């Protein structure tokens, strides 16, 4: 036997469904207890007499199911159901009604109860089945809801990723080879903030950007998208040089969700005469310069990452002379910060340069893909590359028929 003072049915066994019975009539409560002991498996009952007591019990621990009388001293009808769902929305509810109140049971199911039982017409088998099915249906509902949330988050992340992966805007001209790659790091299932872009302005110059917002997640990805779009808009509006990075830094500071967030980037302009390039580097790694069968690591003078220092600073512009056929590759640090084998050694800049020199005889697309594949292969024993990788390779084309890839 059990009582509202003791709360839990005597002889309860672990593994049996835990049921909170909310019933003010001791006689009806006794009948439910007798049925509960006859179900297979038996139900572990906790009995309370009112909605107030039920709320206190639910605040202490959540049962597997609630058996709820719809006529309580302090809550009547659907008001009682609403109160239980407010206190424990994840717990399934089976309502108990009198023989003359079956419509109230139907109304409760319409409002979210899993089932209803009519007092005086319920047997042990029916009670046990109603409780088990209610628990199973609620679990299925929660799993479906979690799946729906996961799908919505995946679609949101996919939209953010598309924002990080623009189509190069080259004004319909095919006189430059562009190889752009983005590889998501999925070790933690998190979206990163690496981004890139390539546009041509009206004077024929080709501008490229590669950047990386510190951290991982939708906020960082959204900030990366915003920086990329702002960069494209500013470049097309004729903004260049240190002012370009100052404006991007202002935007980052205004849009970031934490003062700890910063972004590294390199922006590059290839002159329309094909003889030179201008670069601005803000805390970003160096680049690879690919000339024929030779590859060099070049780290031009630069300044601090955007948003890192309390006061704004100008980053220097670096002028670079290009020999015919020179390819320039910008990338984020995810390409060389992975592991290099089974130990704790990282690939680092030297290892990436060695990979690049081994692939120097390849064309632009194969060169970029080979570097990413090589870095991934070296890190395979430690789970592969854990960080996102963005990379852009630019080279003036000798043939007008070649276009962006």
Q: Which CATH architecture has domain 165-396?
A: 4-Layer Sandwich (3.60)
pLDDT score recorded for residue 15:
60
**Stretch 26-32: mean pLDDT, rounded?**
92
pLDDT digits (tens, 9 = 90+) for 106-125: 999 999 899 999 988 889 99
**Stretch 126-141: mean pLDDT, rounded?**
91
**Stretch 309-330: mean pLDDT, rounded?**
94
pLDDT score recorded for residue 155:
73
pLDDT score recorded for residue 342:
76
Answer for the pair 199, 168: CB distance below 8 angstroms, yes or no. Answer: yes
Greater confidence, 386 or 249?
249
pLDDT digits (tens, 9 = 90+) for 336-364: 999 988 788 999 999 999 999 999 999 99
Q: CATH top-level class for 18-148?
A: alpha beta
What's the pTM?
0.64
pLDDT digits (tens, 9 = 90+) for 378-398: 998 888 888 889 999 999 997
Give domain limits for the chain.
Answer: 18-148, 165-396
pLDDT at 68 over 50: yes
- What is the residue-averaged pLDDT of the chain? 88
**Stretch 79-100: mean pLDDT, rounded?**
89
49-63, 156-170, 378-392: range with highest mean pLDDT: 49-63
pLDDT score recorded for residue 7:
39
């Amino acid at each position: 036997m059990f009582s509202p003072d003791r709360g839990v049915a005597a002889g309860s066994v672990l593994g049996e469904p835990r049921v909170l019975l909310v019933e003010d009539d001791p006689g009806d409560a006794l009948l439910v207890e007798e049925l509960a002991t006859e179900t297979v498996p038996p139900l572990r009952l906790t009995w309370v007499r009112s909605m107030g007591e039920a709320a206190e019990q639910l605040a202490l621990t959540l049962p597997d199911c609630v058996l709820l009388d719809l006529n309580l001293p302090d809550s009547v009808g659907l008001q009682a159901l609403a109160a239980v769902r407010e206190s424990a929305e994840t717990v399934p509810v089976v309502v108990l009604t009198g023989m003359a109140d079956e419509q109230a049971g139907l109304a409760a199911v319409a409002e979210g109860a899993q089932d209803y039982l009519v007092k005086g017409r319920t047997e042990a088998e029916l009670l046990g089945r109603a409780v088990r099915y209610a628990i199973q249906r609620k679990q299925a509902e929660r799993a479906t809801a979690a799946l729906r949330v996961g799908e919505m988050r995946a679609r949101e992340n996919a939209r953010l990723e598309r924002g990080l992966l623009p189509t190069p805007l080259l004004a319909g001209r095919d006189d430059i080879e562009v190889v752009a790659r983005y590889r998501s790091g999925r070790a933690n299932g998190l979206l990163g903030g690496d981004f890139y872009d390539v546009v041509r302005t009206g004077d024929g110059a080709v501008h490229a950007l590669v950047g990386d917002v510190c951290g991982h997640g939708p906020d960082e990805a959204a900030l990366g998208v915003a920086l990329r779009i702002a960069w494209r808009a500013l470049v097309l509006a004729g903004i260049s040089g240190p002012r370009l990075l100052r404006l991007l830094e202002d935007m980052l500071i205004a849009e970031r969700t934490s003062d700890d967030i910063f972004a590294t980037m390199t922006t590059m302009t290839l002159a329309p005469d094909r003889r030179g390039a201008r670069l601005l580097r803000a805390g970003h790694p160096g680049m690879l310069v690919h000339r024929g069968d030779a590859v060099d690591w070049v780290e031009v003078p630069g300044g601090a990452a955007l948003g890192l220092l309390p006061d704004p600073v100008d980053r220097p512009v670096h002028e670079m002379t290009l020999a015919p056929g020179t390819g320039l590759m910008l990338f984020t640090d995810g390409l060389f910060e992975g592991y290099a084998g089974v130990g704790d050694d990282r690939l680092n800049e030297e290892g990436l340069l060695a990979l690049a020199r081994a692939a120097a005889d390849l064309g632009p697309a194969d060169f970029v893909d080979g570097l990413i594949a090589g870095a991934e292969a070296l890190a395979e024993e430690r789970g592969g590359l854990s960080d996102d990788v963005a990379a852009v390779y630019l080279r003036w084309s000798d043939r007008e028929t070649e276009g962006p890839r």
